[in-house]
Amino acid sequence: MKDSATTNIGKFEHPGITAKGDQRARVALTDPQTLWFNTGTLCNITCANCYIESSPTNDRLVYLTTDEVSDYLDQLQDRNWGVREIAFTGGEPFMNPDMIDMARVSLDRGYEVLILTNAMLPMMRRRVQEGLRDLNAAYPGKLTLRISVDHHSARFHDEERGTGAFEKTLIGMRWLRDAGIPMAVAGRSMWDETDKQARDGFAALFLSEGFDIDAYNPGQTVLFPEMDETVEVPEITTECWSILNKSPESVMCASSRMVVKRKGAEKPTVLACTLLPYDPQFELGETLKDAERAVPLNHPHCAKFCVLGGASCSA
d(CA 232, CA 9): 9
Q: Is residue 88 part of a domain?
A: yes
- Residues of the chain above pLDDT 70, percent: 94
Is 59 part of any domain? Answer: yes
Has residue 313 been placed in a domain?
Answer: no
For the chain, the distance separating the N- and C-terminal CA atoms, rounded to the nearest angstrom, is: 34
Between CA 165 and CA 47 the distance in angstroms is: 10
Q: Count Cβ neighbours within 10 Å for each residue of 73-110 and write b for 16 or more, e otherwise.
A: bebbeebebebebbbbbbbbbbbbebbbbbbbbbbeee
Q: What's the alpha-carbon Rg for the chain, to the nearest Å?
A: 19
**What band does 51 get if pLDDT is binned at 50, 70 and 90?**
confident
In this prediction, residue 47 has a pLDDT band, given cuts at 50, 70 and 90, of very high
Print the domain residue range for 158.
Answer: 29-232+247-296
Q: For the segment 154-210, what is each residue's pLDDT rounded down to a tens digit?
A: 999 999 999 999 999 999 999 999 999 999 999 998 778 999 999 999 999 999 999
Whether residue 46 is contained in a domain is answered as: yes
Contact 248, 212 (CB under 8 A): no
Our measurement of the distance from residue 204's CA atom to the centroid of its chain's CA atoms, rounded to an integer in Å, reads: 25
- Quote the CA–CA distance of 311 and 284 in Å, as a whole number: 22
Contacts 24+ apart (CB under 8 A), 74-78: 75/287, 75/288, 75/289, 76/35, 76/288, 77/109
Q: Is residue 75 part of a domain?
A: yes
In-domain check, residue 118? yes
Evaluate whether 294 touches 276 at the Cβ level (below 8 Å).
no
Total domains in the fold of the chain: 1
The answer, yes or no, to whether residue 123 has pLDDT greater than 70, is yes
What pLDDT was estimated at residue 314?
Answer: 41
What number is the average pLDDT over the span 118-123? 98
pLDDT of res. 152: 97
Question: Mean pLDDT throughout 210-239?
Answer: 88
Phi, psi of 270 (to 5 degrees): -110, 130
Under DSSP, the state recorded for 60 is S
Task: Give Cα separations from 306 to 26, 116, 184, 299 (angstroms).
Answer: 13, 19, 20, 11
Is the pLDDT confidence value at 24 over 60?
yes
Which 8-state DSSP code applies to residue 6?
Answer: T
Q: What's the whole-number average pLDDT of the chain? A: 93
Lowest mean pLDDT among 71-80, 134-143, 236-245: 236-245
| Whole-number pLDDT of residue 2 | 41
Residue 228: which pLDDT band, with cuts at 50, 70 and 90? low
Report whether pLDDT(215) > 60. Answer: yes
In a domain, 20, yes or no: no
C-alpha 299/C-alpha 303 separation (Å) is 7
User: Which amino acid is located at 158 in the chain?
Assistant: D
> How many Å apart are CA 46 and CA 195, to the nearest integer?
26
In a domain, 13, yes or no: no
pLDDT number for residue 304? 80
pTM reported for the whole predicted model: 0.93
Range in 38-42, 226-230, 247-251 with the lowest mean pLDDT: 226-230
The predicted pLDDT at position 49 comes to: 86
Domain at 109, CATH number: 3.20.20.70
